Amino acid sequence: MVEGSILNNILSFGPVFLLIAARAVGMIQTAPLLSSDAIQPAAKFALAGLAAFAVLPTAEIFMAINSPNGIVTLPGGTLSDLRYETFTLRFALLVVGELVIGIIIGFYITIIFAAFSTAGQFFSLQMGFGASETFDPVAQVENPLMGQYFNLVSMLIFVTIGGFHQLFLGGFWRSVQTVNIISLIEGKEHVVTMLASGLSRLFLDAIIIAMPILGTLFLTSLTTGLISKAAPQINILSEGFPISIMTAFILLIASLPFMIEAFTRVIESGFTNIQTLYTQIGRQITGGN
């Protein structure tokens, strides 16, 4: 009985459900961890359908469909002032537009997480792990060991601080309430600015995270170089790598609590920037978190 009522709801508001589901699919296919190839496509589409059904009552859209009243208005929040006819090119373009919105949300979160992997890459070479690149199943790229380590730590922090809760409520649900493809096109300057600032922030955050270890390893290399000049008979090449690796591991252990705090601030600032974008280009909403 319950399953039948859920299916009837989806079929009654099928066009709206399809638009919201397209946005969810775009976000899931680009968001970190959820976009992993280890997750089956069926599970991704099922999650997108569940997310679309959950936020469907809060979406408002004007539809020109076959009905006695012509235009049908769904009560609720706002997916905002779109008029369309199903099974037309206009509706197909609206689906593509919703997919683009989801891709932008997921891609921006991916940019934030790329800062952690980049931080590990900065000092992997000085540490002596520059040639130890292997395939990282989380980042879906070839990544040095330290980049993989930072990726795993960031994912654990993301789960611990309720990152998926923020992604689907603060990112996806709020976007359904405030933003559609028309507002995205009208506010494209704000979107481009957010993405460009995210890319520049990526390297800044990576430098800030890696600088303590990177600076210490530079001083270590400088010291070993001076020793090799003062005592040429010492095989500094064979002694330098163990010293650098041991120094880096000691610094990682000592600075891990501070890095966790830095990771948390970076992730939370990313969600804050997305919320700011919604207020700049979308409709204002009141109530709720």
SS3 74: coil
Q: Is residue 26 within 8 Å of 167, Cβ to Cβ?
A: no
**pLDDT surpasses 70 at 139:** no
> What's the pLDDT score for residue 166?
85
Q: Confirm whether 289 is domain-assigned.
A: no
The two three-digit tokens of residue 268, written as one number: 């939370």
Q: Specify the amino acid at residue 276.
A: T
**Token pair 């359904």: residue:** 176
pLDDT in tens, 7-31: 665 566 777 888 888 899 999 988 8
**pLDDT surpasses 70 at 187:** yes
> What's the pLDDT score for residue 81?
46
Burial (0-12, 13-18, 19+ Cβ within 10 Å), 126: buried
pLDDT in tens, 123-138: 777 776 665 555 555 5
| Domains: count for the chain | 1
The two three-digit tokens of residue 116, written as one number: 């952690």
Q: Which of 287, 79, 48, 74 is nearest to 179 (CA)?
A: 79
Q: What is the DSSP letter of 234?
A: S
Mean pLDDT of 182-211: 84
Q: Confirm whether 101 is domain-assigned.
A: yes
**pLDDT surpasses 80 at 1:** no
How far is residue 279's CA from residue 182's CA, in Å, rounded to a whole number? 15
> What's the pLDDT score for residue 93?
83
Mean per-residue pLDDT over the chain, rounded: 76
> What's the pLDDT score for residue 5?
64
Least confident of 141-150, 191-200, 278-287: 278-287
Q: Which of 200, 208, 224, 249 is nearest to 122 (CA)?
A: 208
Full domain range(s) for residue 13: 2-281
> What's the pLDDT score for residue 70?
42
Q: Confirm whether 288 is domain-assigned.
A: no
How far is residue 59's CA from residue 273's CA, in Å, rounded to a whole number? 23
Residue 288: pLDDT band (50, 70, 90) is very low
Q: Confirm whether 268 is domain-assigned.
A: yes
Q: Specify the amino acid at residue 116.
A: F
> What's the pLDDT score for residue 134?
57
* Percentage of the chain exceeding pLDDT 70: 74
How far is residue 182's CA from residue 176's CA, in Å, rounded to a whole number? 13
Q: Is residue 185 within 8 Å of 98, Cβ to Cβ?
A: no
Phi, psi dihedrals of residue 139, rounded to the nearest 5°: -85, -10
Residue 6: pLDDT band (50, 70, 90) is low
Q: Is residue 22 within 8 Å of 95, Cβ to Cβ?
A: yes
pLDDT in tens, 64-107: 333 444 444 444 444 544 555 566 777 788 888 889 989 999 88
| Residue 213: how many other CB atoms lie within 10 Å | 24
Residue 2: pLDDT band (50, 70, 90) is low
The two three-digit tokens of residue 63, written as one number: 């539809």
pLDDT in tens, 198-253: 888 888 888 888 888 888 888 887 777 777 777 666 666 666 677 777 888 888 88
* Percentage of the chain exceeding pLDDT 90: 2
How far is residue 108's CA from residue 171's CA, in Å, rounded to a whole number? 11
**Token pair 């939370």: residue:** 268
Q: Confirm whether 287 is domain-assigned.
A: no
**pLDDT surpasses 50 at 149:** yes
Q: Reduced to 3 DSSP states, what percent helix, strand and coil does the chain have, rounded to the nearest 5? A: 75, 5, 20
The two three-digit tokens of residue 244, written as one number: 């650098």
Mean pLDDT of 273-282: 82
